[in-house]
Amino acid sequence: MPSEENKERIIRVVEFGRVVLHYGWIPFIIYVGYTRSNPQPSLIKLISPLA
């Protein structure tokens, strides 16, 4: 049975993981799409759709 200290540590790690996943998911998908596309678009066209 985990102690209270270990339970709190696990809860903190899970909450941190949720925040990282929440804010990192869309940039990760954009990065994967950018690196896997052929031909790779220029970075300015990726950032600004009007360029």
Give the C-alpha separation, 12 to 42, whole Å.
39
Q: Model confidence over 30-43: pLDDT tens digits?
A: 888 888 888 877 77
pLDDT of residue 9: 95
Q: Model confidence over 1-51: pLDDT tens digits?
A: 789 999 999 999 999 999 999 999 998 998 888 888 888 777 777 777 675
pLDDT of residue 51: 57
Side-chain-side CA neighbours of residue 45 (13 Å):
5
pLDDT of residue 23: 94
Are 44 and 51 contacting, i.e. CB atoms less than 8 angstroms apart? yes
